[in-house]
Amino acid sequence: MSGARPGAAEIARRVAARETSAEAVTREHLDHIARRDAGLDAFLAVTADRALAQARRVDATLAAGGPAGPLAGVPVAVKDLLDIEGTVTTCGSRILEGYRPPFTATAVARLEAAGAIVIGKTNMDEFAMGSSTENSAYKVTRNPWDRTRVPGGSSGGSAVAVSTGMAALALGTDTGGSIRQPAALCGVVGLKPTYGRVSRYGVVAFASSLDQVGPLGRTVEDVALAASAICGVDTADATSAPVDVPDFRAALSAGAAGLRIGVPWSFLESGVDAGVMAAFRQSLADFEAAGARTVEVALPHAPHAVATYYIVATAEASSNLARFDGVRYGLRVPGSDLRHMYGETRDRGFGAEVKRRIILGTFVLSAGYYDAYYLRAQQVRTLIRRDFEGAFRACDVVAMPTTPTPAFRLGEKTADPLQMYLEDIFTVPANLAGIPGLSLPGGFVGGLPVGVQLLGRPFDETTLLRLGHAYQQRTDHHKKQPPETDSRD
């Protein structure tokens, strides 16, 4: 496997054809992690023994004439808030110290049932609260294109693992852009499915009405393969939708001809880096060359999305994180009484950003402020969803940059949370509306990758993937790989 590293589809084809073995592929990827992750810190844990045991089972099935799963032998990295039975889950936080869940997240189990090999757990912003993977309690993950810059967040470790070929696929979660934003900043493909499309069972909750599991890969084809595996109703998750799952990969060949791409130009008037905007305009030209056409649409309430999101998300986080109290699992700091133990445990176990969001969420839910903040935010959320419903009457997908800037420098925004939050301006509307979003490698600005984002109707991931695949047939941004070593070395 020298030269360009194969993607998920190619690995699965080779393993199924017995051109190589799942064990050989797994060992090669584990060796690559050992060489490549130093200085990047994408992984919190590498599950080598478990991965090799899985790989041997795949090989034994094939040797006995059994069927090859659609992801046979494909190495997958998993964001460390998806549970795997017996494997430590940290959520990037000290408060879950030593926690080994007794079950496996449905999305992970479905990947493994398709033949995928989980090779490790990836670093993340603590409890998925951040846009840079600087908020992890354990380490800071660096962008492989420039190690002085962030990889995005909160699924930064997963994006780096895919970008560098340490994993062929990865799972992340997207509450306000946490798959799409790091995918854009690391030059890979990231899909946030429709809310309810993928089970959240076994996923540690941040904001339950916003969280969604999704895949990251080098190509749209790879992401489509993963999406077909993980999507579908799950009786263990009451919010999973009983909607049929199409063969996303088979639909890719339909092409872009006749599709209408809506562009909310008034939403993009200010705050976007000039280089990012130039790359976006070129992407639109590439879509048109593939047979699509662009129309202008309006999203009048989208400018209020960040403010709305940081009320809804923090309120739900305040509620969800109340369970981490030192009583049942994770960190426990002794105290003179129960109240003191609660306080000491949460004070030492949570980082600054998590504490900030818990405090904000508790405030907006408090008596006297609920109507003024939380209720009003839910009303604006409805208006944002209606904006998209109106836009989709004139187009099939909505396009915009994934992020307003390329990757920023490590430490550049940590002292100013508001500036960090504004990095999510183009991603949070999809979460509030519950619609699917796809980030594609959309070019380079100053040597750094940037993304173009496609948003679709609820449960219409097929159109996003179809259009994204057509785009990748005409562009080569996704074929470029980050340097093997730090340019400063």
∠ CA 114-118-122, nearest 5°, is 135
199 noted as active-site residue: no
Q: Could you say which of 155, 178, 240, 318 is catalytic?
A: 178
Express the helix, strand and coil content of the chain in percent, nearest 5 each: 40, 15, 45
Encoding tokens for residue 33? 């992690």
79 noted as active-site residue: yes
Classified as helix, coil or strand, 256 is: coil
Q: In what order do the strands lie in the sheet with 448-456?
A: 43-46, 117-122, 75-79, 169-173, 213-217, 189-192, 437-445, 448-456, 397-401, 260-263, 293-296
Answer yes or no: are the C-beta atoms of 391 and 398 closer than 8 Å: yes
Encoding tokens for residue 133? 């993977």
Task: Provide the angle, in degrees to the nearest 10, between the axes of the packed helices 8-16 and 22-36.
Answer: 150
Residue 2 burial (10 A CB sphere; 0-12, 13-18, 19+): exposed
Residue 395 carries which DSSP code? -
Q: Taking Cα atoms as reference points, which of 403, 412, 399 lies closest to residue 454?
A: 399
Please, which residues bridge with residue 189 across strands? 217
Q: Could you say which of 21, 79, 93, 132 is catalytic?
A: 79
**Sign of CA pseudo-dihedral 308, 311, 317, 319:** negative
Q: Could you say which of 93, 131, 132, 154 is catalytic?
A: 154
154 noted as active-site residue: yes
Give the span between the Cα atoms of 356 and 370, in whole angstroms. 18
User: Annotated active-site positions, please?
Assistant: 79, 154, 178
